[in-house]
Chains A and B, each alone.
Chain A
Amino acid sequence: MLLSLRDVTKTYPGAEAPVLQRISLDLHAGEMLALTGESGSGKSTLLHLTGGLDTADRGIVAIDGTDLTPLDDPGRAALRRGTVGVIFQQFNLIPSLTVAANIAFQARLAGRYNPDRVQRLTTRLGLGDHLGKYPEQLSGGQQQRVAIARTLAPQPRLVLADEPTGNLDEATADTVFALLCELVAETGAGLILVTHSERLAARLGRRLHLRAGQLT
């Protein structure tokens, strides 16, 4: 089992109701899961807990059998470096690094930098002509492709994508989505994709809907 969530509950300070209530789910390696729901339903929170970006109040979040709950900040940081890759809606590229340096960045952090793999990724994502540019010189679609390349370069076991096409037009979103699924499938990693788009969600093998902090 790649990912296992058991009775995960999370309440934000000052909030009346928990944002997530006793969530349980499993994900196998190579499996792709679409997570949909209204704004504020807890999709991003679930993703953040899974990626070790935040901690649950109760329950167990385990990746490859390792429980994240007792991990401290360095432990969770190590998980994000090596096992999990997160793709953000706002791209979160480092503006002062070139495209090439951004793509190589996480792989270098994880100590798994492979120039050949990076080159293959950039070619597949159509970024070959932009490697010397800075993020601000790219369009939104190009920036998201750089973010995908950065996430996949260290070959994470689990990819978490938080509305990766939310800032893109429909045509670009389709292209980026297809590339992401294709590349993740090639690595055999698991994928959880948070999206508002019913159309894109329908294209993944498995789909879950969050409503008021509970899976339906």
Chain B
Amino acid sequence: MTRTIFSALFSHWRRNPLHLITLLAGLALGTALWSGVQAINAEARASYDAAAATLGEGTYAQIVAQDGAAIPQQTYVGLRRAGWLVSPVVEGDLGRVRIVGIDPLTAPRGIGPVSVGGGADLGAFVTGTGQILARADTLAALPETDATVIITPDVAPNTAIVDIGLAQRLLGRAGQIDRLIVLPEQPIKRRPLDTIAPGLIETAPPDSSEVARLTDSFHLNLTAFGLLSFVVGLFIVHGAIGLAFEQRRPMVRTLRALGVPLRRLIWLMAVELATLGLIAGLVGVALGYVVAAALLPDVAATLRGLYGADVSGQLTLRPAWWISGLAIAVGGTAVASAGALWSLARMPLLASAQPRAWVMARQGVALSMLSLTLLMLAGGLAIWGQGLSAGFIMLGALLVGGALALPPLLTLALRFGQARARSPVAQWFWADTRQQVPGLSLALMALLLAMTANVGVSTMVSSFRLTFVGFLDQRLASELYVSATDAAQAERIAAVAMAQGVVVLPILAVDAKVAGQPAEIYGARDHATYRDNWQLLRAVPDAWSVLARGEGVLVNEQLYRRADLDLGTMVPIAPGLELPIVGIYGDYGNPVGQVILNDAVFTRQFPDVTALRFGLRLDPSKVDAFRAALRDQAGVADSAMVDQAVIKAMSLSVFERTFTVTTALNILTLAVAGFAMLMSLLTLAVMRLPQLAPVWALGLPRRRLAALDLLRAVVLAALTGALALPLGLALAWALLAVVNVEAFGWRLPMYLFPMDYLRLGALALLAATLAALWPAWRLSRMPPTQLLGVFRNER
């Protein structure tokens, strides 16, 4: 019996391949969107983490030559003999690949072939012709060598890890070392560095900058985008499955009348859908990979590594990733079809032909109530919600509530249009458009969510960019940042600067607990650098002057929110010192609280703290010359001097890539929603022949009907867009002002970008027009016999 039922169920798809394509494409595109975003997200994380993870950069102290020159290998041997636990590193470019030579036997745990490569063999790595560990794309860019290449996905992009001996040979730098990694655990009795190697200096691990920490926020936003794309996909899947059920209602009724038990029918339909979900999931995962690779052309090969590429360069998907992609497809199908299967289970055998309009009207009222409830829940959570979970629930309630509000709002707007129509054709147009709303509602909801995601994510990302650039200008106002190794070098730096007329802004800092929160207390010199560049979120009048007089403090937003502080609140800085808050500043990315005092007050309060870091203000054209002077006269290593222009350029390039990806994803989401609309229109085109045929018979030519169909799609898309704008702005607000605050303790200001919204509206109308073009063309060319068939009751 099972086989017979299956043959009947599948015969529907065989006879209606377009319906099958709709369902599979909806599922596959939903999965592709989700898995593509996930892949990009994972890739972005991997890119950020790989360099540090591979090389230990940012984690360990380093020893470098004071003059920036190479360190002789003999010096390294001398240090080891003197008890220093250090590990040598040689770096250089071979072609366009960065070669990093390490000594795996002395390197700290987490660095080297054992940690980075599954296929690496320590013995082979250090002996013979050696091994080169790198990603597949990096290896492809390497010149021919006699070493064995091992594809190692976890290595940083464009970097190859080799044994130090091989590196010296490949780079032609025998006996030379660039830097020494200082292991955290060192023997207590070891000779001072300057007695063993006078030309070398030890530098502390570079401070992980606020810029780096901003990436966490970026990932949260990408995750939110992933969620949005998944919801869009879910609506598409829901629409496709809903249509599939709707089309097969008569068949289901016949099967049951012929003696197929309801339970078995439901099980078999569930199995059928799971199979289709699985097939579509496979296609979707593959598409997701293509999407991710296409969106990140510069890291496409890296993605191959993410999925676990083999030596021949053939694509091998990592099981965990594609299984999760399939699970999403099948799970999404289950969620999307649960309602349809449930209504099938409850459908009385003889009642399936009850008037659909009445059913839809009843569903419409229920959905309106649900929408209202969800939007009220979102509003309530926005006002009273606490915590990140509440933020995400609010986000979900806002999106689903907004989507469910679309059909009743569209119906209202169309009713308004109908009431104002004068000519009979116009009246029919509005009435007929209203009648199409239930059938098109899921596709329109997908379009709404796509546009909402577009508005929301674009606003968020662009606001993010504006804030970020402003923040960089504020925080990296000084032309050069210098770190001293000790107080003596700090004094030499100050002396060199003074001699050249360079303004020195010492960065004095001490860790403390303020208002019960872990915080950093900074001493800032009164200077135009701060007054002119720092934007205060809230402040008392003339706050900088009050700060300069030592009569108040500035606190960052994190401390202000976490400790529930306000302007004027007295903050206990240290025993005997309590000052009022005179301003609150944005401190994006910083996980801990911060308090800024006047430097004189700071020095009085913390006399033991010496400034070892400085911001230096000088003519940008003289930065290189001044760096040389610091190197020569104060013995500052190159790695201890950071040019702000370099940091800004690097940071901005990271975010530019983010924006490119986001823009492309926005367009893709819109395209997928357009596709969903096309499929719905194609399916409806057949189902609504009985509605069109009488109008045609009454004298409206096919071409006119087709033009009206096209106009209908544009009107519906425009009305959908009108709702998407406020919903998208609400989404952006939720992401910036709620989710971000809950996740990181700081709020991103929200900016509006009207031109972007106009462009998006035009794109959405274009997508709707393109989607409606084919069905309209088919209608314009439909043979009269097909329309006449309606009257012959032969359909």
Where the two chains meet, the residues of A that have a C-beta atom closer than 8 Å to any C-beta of B are 48, 53-54, 73-74, 77-82, 86, 88, 92-97, 101, 105-106, 108-111, 134, 136, 140, 150, 167
Contacts and interface: CB of A to CB of B under 8 A. Distances in A.
17 contacts: A54-B350, A74-B264, A79-B259, A80-B258, A81-B259, A86-B257, A92-B254, A96-B8, A96-B13, A96-B15, A97-B7, A105-B4, A105-B8, A108-B1, A109-B258, A134-B15, A136-B794
Contacts of B263: 73-74
Nearest to A97: B11
Size class of B's contact patch? 20 to 34
Contact of A94 (B251, B256, B259): B251
A78 B259 contact: yes
Contacts of A101: 7, 11
Nearest to B349: A53
A77 B259 contact: yes
A81 B12 contact: no
A79 B262 CA distance: 13
B261 interface: yes
B795 interface: yes
Interface string B588-609: 0000000000000000000000
A94 B12 CA distance: 9
Given A79-B259, A92-B253, A92-B257, A109 B11 contact: no
Contacts of B254: 92-94
Contacts of B262: 73-74, 77
A134 B795 CA distance: 12
A86 B260 CA distance: 13
Contacts of A96: 8, 11-16, 251
A81 to B, nearest CB: 3
Contacts of B795: 136
In the A-B complex, the 5 residue pairs with the closest CB atoms: A81-B259, A80-B259, A96-B15, A96-B11, A77-B261
B716 to A, nearest CB: 30
A109 B4 CA distance: 6
A108 B4 contact: yes
B250 interface: yes
A75 to B, nearest CB: 9
Interface string B615-638: 000000000000000000000000
A48 B350 contact: yes
A110 to B, nearest CB: 7
Interface in B471-506: none
Nearest to A111: B1
A111 B259 CA distance: 12
Contacts, number: 80
A77 B350 contact: no
A132 B177 CA distance: 82
B393 to A, nearest CB: 39
Interface string B252-293: 011111111111100000000000000000000000000000
* Residue among B256, B257, B258, B793 with the highest chain A CB neighbour number at 10 A: B258
A134 B254 CA distance: 16
Nearest to A45: B350
B785 to A, nearest CB: 13
Nearest to B353: A90
Contacts of A54: 349-350
A53 B253 CA distance: 11
Given A53-B349, A54-B349, A92-B253, A73 B8 contact: no
A77 B256 CA distance: 7
Contacts of B261: 73-74, 77-78
Contacts of B256: 77
A111 B5 CA distance: 12
Contacts of B8: 94, 96-97, 105
A154 B456 CA distance: 61
A108 B263 CA distance: 19
A54 B257 CA distance: 10
A41 B1 CA distance: 36
A140 B264 CA distance: 31
Interface string B1-36: 100110110011111100000000000000000000
Nearest to B5: A109
A199 to B, nearest CB: 23
A106 B259 contact: yes
A92 B250 contact: yes
A12 B16 CA distance: 37
Contacts of B11: 94, 96-97, 101
Nearest to B351: A54
* Residue among B15, B258, B259 with the highest chain A CB neighbour number at 10 A: B259
Contacts of A88: 257
A76 B64 CA distance: 87
Contacts of A109: 1, 4-5, 258-260
Interface in B41-65: none
Contacts of B14: 96
* Residue among A54, A93, A94, A110 with the highest chain B CB neighbour number at 10 A: A94
B339 to A, nearest CB: 21
Contacts of B264: 74
Contacts of B7: 97, 101
Contacts of A81: 1, 258-260
Nearest to B3: A108
B1 A106 contact: no
A118 to B, nearest CB: 14
A106 B251 CA distance: 13
A108 B262 CA distance: 17
A96 B7 CA distance: 10
Contacts of A73: 261-263
Given A53-B349, A94-B254, A111-B1, A82 B259 contact: yes
A211 B8 CA distance: 39
* Residue among B8, B255, B263 with the highest chain A CB neighbour number at 10 A: B8
Contacts of B794: 136, 140
B262 to A, nearest CB: 5
A105 B259 CA distance: 11
Contacts of B251: 94-96
Nearest to A167: B793
Contacts of B4: 105, 108-109
Contacts of A167: 793
Given A96-B251, A109-B259, 16 more contacts: A54-B349, A77-B261, A80-B258, A80-B259, A81-B258, A86-B257, A94-B11, A94-B251, A95-B250, A96-B8, A96-B12, A96-B14, A97-B7, A97-B8, A136-B795, A140-B794
* Residue among B13, B14, B15, B263 with the highest chain A CB neighbour number at 10 A: B15
Contacts of A111: 1
* Residue among A86, A97, A136, A140 with the highest chain B CB neighbour number at 10 A: A97
A20 B261 CA distance: 26
Contacts of A74: 261-264
B350 A53 contact: yes
B147 to A, nearest CB: 62
Nearest to A81: B259
A92 to B, nearest CB: 4
Contact of A106 (B15, B16, B250, B258): B258
A101 B11 CA distance: 10
Contact of B260 (A53, A77, A93, A140): A77
Nearest to A84: B259
A56 to B, nearest CB: 14
B22 to A, nearest CB: 16
